[in-house]
Structure 1
Amino acid sequence: MIGDFALQIDRYEPVESGQVYRMLGMRSKIGGPFIRETKSGSEISAAKLNKVKAGDFIYSRLFAWQGSFGLIPEEMDGCYVSNEFPLYELDTSKVIPEYLVYWFGLPHVQKMVEADCSGSTPGTRNRFKEIFFERLDIELPSIEQQKSIVKSIQLLEQKRSAVIDLRSTVLADAQAMLSSAFHKLIEGAVYKPMSEVAPIVRRQIEITVNGEYPELGARSFGKGIFHKPTLIGAELDWQKLYAVHSGDLVLSNIKAWEGAIAAAGDNDHGRVGSHRYITCVPVEGVTTANFLAFYLLTQEGIEQVQAASPGSADRNRTLAMKRLEKIKVPVPDYDKQLWFNQLQSYVEKIKQAQSENATELEALMPSILDKAFKGELV
């Protein structure tokens, strides 16, 4: 059992109002600890905190079922955690600390942990208490074998990390290129109000009892349009719905200030949006939804949207249609806009390919761990 070589650490200190504390959190999927926030003692409700040291084994009682296990690195030595993050000192004559962390990343081990954290929903799962942790059975090969397994995993993990870093660089470079091209394109361009180049068009639809209405929404921070479940007419009462067409500029009137702005594509044509969504139709031969969406998500553009969305609280920051119509946008040569839209399309394909690659890389880790522990890695 793990309790045979793991000793729980108690370095609790009373919280002092004048002291500053670097507080840790835990990532899922054996991603290890991270510095979550820095707080003064006066901002902390707990009466005491546990001080960590480099090399401590740590896990999250609340999120162990998601694989929140790891080791404290040197740069986090001296940070603090609440009692929801048990700390352990491992007997390194019996176990290599990294070996134990990787062991908790194995799919079948995760199932064992999850079984001890069962609950009706993920939000109400039981904590993975120390007694559960300490009583888990683990077969330990010799220290030399453990070192060999850890080394083989780390070698592949280094290669995987290099690919992830390269992917991030490619995405950053593509976005920088797009931004540079955009700013060159609008140099000297005339700015015109939205009412002239992309007037608001509201296509209210008649709701029938037997009607079905596939809904859409726009994600914040420029993350595009997403599809919601289909609405059933018989289940609607006071709601008003508006049709969205391909080529529309779609804005959430309550979240536009944080980037809920997007261009509707062919897959979005015919879907509906609630009264919270405003659709603008670009004048043919003057501008396009893709170009406008890109501008409104730039620093200059979003500042205009935010200025047109006053309010003292997030939920009260509403973009009124009259204010939207007055926002001025650059209108360079139409053909150049079409060229830029094509460039956006190329970058979007790169992002999609990288996203698929990221999913594959994430799925690769459990396989690496499984083969390593079975001795199948060469």
Structure 2
Amino acid sequence: MPRFPLVPLGELITYAPDPHEVDPDSKYPIAGVYGFGRGMIQRAAVAGGEIAAAQLFRIRAGQFIYSRLKSFEGAYSIVSPEVDGYFVSNEFPTFDIDRERIEPAFLGWYFKQHCVWQQLASDGRGIGARRERLHPKRLFDHAIPVPTLEEQRRVIARLELAAAAVANRKVGADAAETEISATLRAAFARIISDATRARMGDVAPLIRRPVDIDPDAKYPELGVRSFGKGTFHKAPLAGIDVGTKKLFYVAAGDLLFNIVFAWEGAVAVAAESDAGRVGSHRFLTRVVDPDRSTADFLRYWFLSEEGLLALNRASPGGAGRNRTLGIKALEAIQVPTPSLDAQQWFDDVQARARAARRAQADAAADLDRLLPAMLHEVFGE
């Protein structure tokens, strides 16, 4: 049973459009609603002569508003003071709230729940996920739990306190990431400042491990994400579907390049969990000479500003899939080769940085689960 009595929204909110004819000589500050319960969008003023619609609708702080088109992805909000007096199109129905029965902030928190968006979207009208529109009548029929105003205020205070903790934690995480990145950059700059250089082809030659294709076998593929975001696992490829494509095995410790997107940082080091997976000829597996360098050190350099510039120069073409990293051009790149002790020291610094980032990510994930859990506790059955 619900914790609080259920009341149809039609008893709590009133449709309150405030239409204004568009004057070509006037300017209109425009508002919108973010998806996923993230509040209001504040846009710059637009000249009336640039607006196709004949009418716009003024909104006021404290009203309830949603996007007909994006309701399925949580585009509901309470109008914030920052957009008081702004204008929206007729795709944004606006409602006055009966404050003798419900606090606007309480209603706002209720509509931050994914399960509510899904429930209302299940009766939406339209074709395709991004064309479903929620009619106000369907909204009015939707019943929500409504405690006393005193209890609502207690709930709001708890949720806002938790939200503030999450926001502060994210600010702290951003500051920590900035510090970690700056520490790595400073340490790296110090050890390569007077380092000798050597050809990439000599330091980390290309090693191919061809796969003998069995039509009845399956081959788990490996991918490399852009922007230094590591590897990812693809679904197994059936041998019968390989056709004329050549596949090559990956080994742990390989320095990997996706030749199509190397110019935007598709560089990674294969982990133990990647070993035995396969990639096409578009994935270069380079084995670093252990007497000269380390894979982690070279990966960091190739993802640095200097390294990415070198990869861009070695990847001729326009953009996207037309920018293919040349194998000979990659081998000709002069990479820094400070002493092996210095590189291993930096790899240790990188390992500690990764551990700190994992701890930050775990803490952030715990906090990300906090608000949904609290919302379920308040509004769930």
The bucket for the TM-score relative to the shorter chain is 0.7 to 0.9
Pairwise CA distance, 1:143: 2.9
Q: What's the secondary structure of 2:193's corresponding residue?
A: coil
Q: What whole-Å deviation, never above 9, does each CA across 1:23-63 have from its counterpart, x for those lacking one? A: 645131x2223458999999988777656554443333344
Among residues 7, 15, 28, which one is paired with 1:7 in the alignment? 15
| Cα distance between partner residues in 1 of 2:91 and 2:326 | 45
- Contact 2:19–2:55 under 8 Å retained in 1: no
Q: Are 2:121 and 1:135 equivalent residues in the alignment? A: no
Pairwise CA distance, 1:211: 2.1
Q: Are 2:262 and 1:241 equivalent residues in the alignment? A: no
How much identity, in percent, do the aligned residues show? 35
Shifted more, 323-332 versus 161-170: the winner is 161-170
What's the RMSD between the two structures over aligned residues?
3.3
- Contact 1:15–1:49 under 8 Å retained in 2: no
TM-score (norm 2): 0.85
Q: Which residue of 2 aligns with 1:273?
A: 279
| Cα distance between partner residues in 1 of 2:66 and 2:317 | 41
Q: Are 2:97 and 1:90 equivalent residues in the alignment? A: yes
Q: Which residue of 1 aligns with 2:116?
A: 109
Pairwise CA distance, 1:97: 1.4
Pairwise CA distance, 1:86: 3.5
Q: Which residue of 2 aligns with 1:169?
A: 175
How many correspondences in the alignment?
Answer: 373
Pair 1:273–1:25, CA change in 2 (3 A): farther
| Cα distance between partner residues in 2 of 1:84 and 1:162 | 34
Q: Are 2:216 and 1:210 equivalent residues in the alignment? A: yes
Q: What's the secondary structure of 1:138's corresponding residue?
A: strand
| Cα distance between partner residues in 2 of 1:240 and 1:37 | 53
| Cα distance between partner residues in 1 of 2:251 and 2:49 | 53
Among residues 178, 181, 185, which one is paired with 2:184 in the alignment? 178
Q: Are 2:317 and 1:311 equivalent residues in the alignment? A: yes
Q: Which runs of 5+ in 2 are unaligned?
A: 1-7
Among residues 284, 287, 302, which one is paired with 2:308 in the alignment? 302
- Contact 1:27–1:34 under 8 Å retained in 2: no
- Contact 1:244–1:279 under 8 Å retained in 2: yes
Q: What whole-Å deviation, never above 9, does each CA across 1:104-136 have from its counterpart, x for those lacking one? A: 234653442243249998x46733333322321
TM-score (norm 1): 0.85
| Cα distance between partner residues in 2 of 1:317 and 1:246 | 27
| Cα distance between partner residues in 2 of 1:83 and 1:178 | 51
Q: What's the secondary structure of 1:164's corresponding residue?
A: helix
Pairwise CA distance, 1:261: 1.0
Q: What's the secondary structure of 1:221's corresponding residue?
A: coil
- Contact 1:153–1:372 under 8 Å retained in 2: no
One-letter amino acid of the counterpart of residue 35, structure 2:
R
Q: What's the secondary structure of 1:113's corresponding residue?
A: helix
Among residues 339, 362, 367, which one is paired with 2:368 in the alignment? 362
One-letter amino acid of the counterpart of residue 202, structure 1:
R
